[in-house]
């Protein structure tokens, strides 16, 4: 079974506030698991959220072609 993180642990991993994680959950912007009343986030879901928001750096070729 995948490790389930608490909201606090997820916030610590992303170096953000607990409020930010709770907002992601409320807006359904991150996958989560309900365990009774508790919300848990898998490490995989956290990694996927970070990967989806990753912006590649500009390279000299991209700048010359006007690609952003």
What is the mean pLDDT of each successive set of 10 residues along the chain, which is 68 residues long? 92 98 97 96 96 89 67
As given in the structure block, the two tokens for residue 41 are 């986030």
Q: Work out the angle between the directed axes of helices 7-14 and 43-52 (0-180°, nearest 10).
A: 40
Q: What is the pLDDT of residue 59?
A: 82
Q: What is the pLDDT of residue 1?
A: 67
Place of tokens 């991993």: 13
The CATH code of domain 4-56 reads 1.10.1660
Q: What is the pLDDT of residue 42?
A: 97
Q: What is the pLDDT of residue 58?
A: 84
Helix H, strand E, coil C: the string for the chain is CCCEECHHHHHHHHCCCHHHHHHHHHCCCCCCEEECCEEEEEHHHHHHHHHHCCCCCCCHHHHHHCCC
């Amino acid at each position: 079974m995948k490790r389930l993180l608490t909201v606090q642990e997820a916030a610590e991993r992303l170096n953000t506030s607990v409020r930010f994680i709770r907002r992601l959950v409320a807006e359904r912007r991150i996958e989560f698991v309900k365990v009774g009343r508790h919300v848990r986030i898998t490490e995989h879901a956290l990694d996927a959220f970070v990967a989806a928001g990753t912006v590649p750096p500009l390279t000299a070729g991209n700048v010359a072609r006007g690609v952003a």
